[in-house]
Amino acid sequence: MNLEDLMAVWRSQDASPMHGANDTLLRLVLRQDEAKLRAQQRTGEWMTYLTSAGLVAIMAVFFVVTIYKADDVRTGWDFVIPIAGAVPAILMGVALYMSRRAQKLREQRFGESLRDQLGRQIAQLDYRATSDVWLGRAIVAAGFVGAIAIVLAGSRVNMEPNEPFDLDGIGRMIFMGVIFSALAVRAARRRAKEDVLPRKHRLEALLKDLDA
């Protein structure tokens, strides 16, 4: 049987397809997918930006409380603490926005062929692997600095004007924070390794097969 015969045999299935599709269910699936996709995108973005905005808002409240404190005595700490708490949160939001934008542009550079699709997926996995770790660090760091700032600002509001900070307490908090951050980053790394790397290796093997 030559190629033409094979092709004729192959095309014979067009007259009696092996499968059919349930059109009603199909519409349902598409509607569900669309709704799910939109909800996921919205939730992911809002969560990050709200976290940043929340931290900034808390710092702003402390700042305002400090400004209108009854004793009317202010030190440099009253300004440094809210700013130090808000800046990492703002930077985290901006960095996340820019990183997502850069990744979108990177993905758009790929075309539509199978090779491009594989390349795009590898780039997506690379981004996921690095952003999981990077983002984990950024969120933990911003949250950590924010938490310290909240505690400091909170105690500052209730302290006498020239009363020193409880450095031992702050030291303990920083120590706990560092341990927690290290564990969180380690978990993100492990997740990336277990989930992303096997898929990436599979896609790279497929890319190799293209040229074989």
Task: Give the separation between CA 121 and CA 115, rounded to whole angstroms.
Answer: 10
Which residue number, 118 or 142, has a Cβ lying nearer to another protein? Answer: 118
Task: Give the separation between CA 40 and CA 81, rounded to whole angstroms.
Answer: 35
Residue burial 140-172, b: 16+ Cβ < 10 Å; e: rest? bbbbbbbbbbbbbbeebeebeeeeeeeeeeeee
Residues that bind another protein (CB under 8 A): 1, 3, 6-7, 9-22, 25-26, 28-30, 32-33, 111-118, 121, 194-195, 198-199, 202-203, 206, 209-212
- List Cβ neighbours of 38 (8 Å cut-off, separation of 6 or more): none
Task: Give the separation between CA 113 and CA 30, rounded to whole angstroms.
Answer: 24
Which residue number, 101 or 202, has a Cβ lying nearer to another protein? Answer: 202
CB of 206 to another protein, least distance (A): 6
Which residue number, 48 or 124, has a Cβ lying nearer to another protein? Answer: 124
CB of 4 to another protein, least distance (A): 10
CB of 76 to another protein, least distance (A): 48
Q: Tell me the CA end-to-end span of the chain in Å, nearest whole number.
A: 27
CB of 143 to another protein, least distance (A): 24
Which residue number, 114 or 174, has a Cβ lying nearer to another protein? Answer: 114
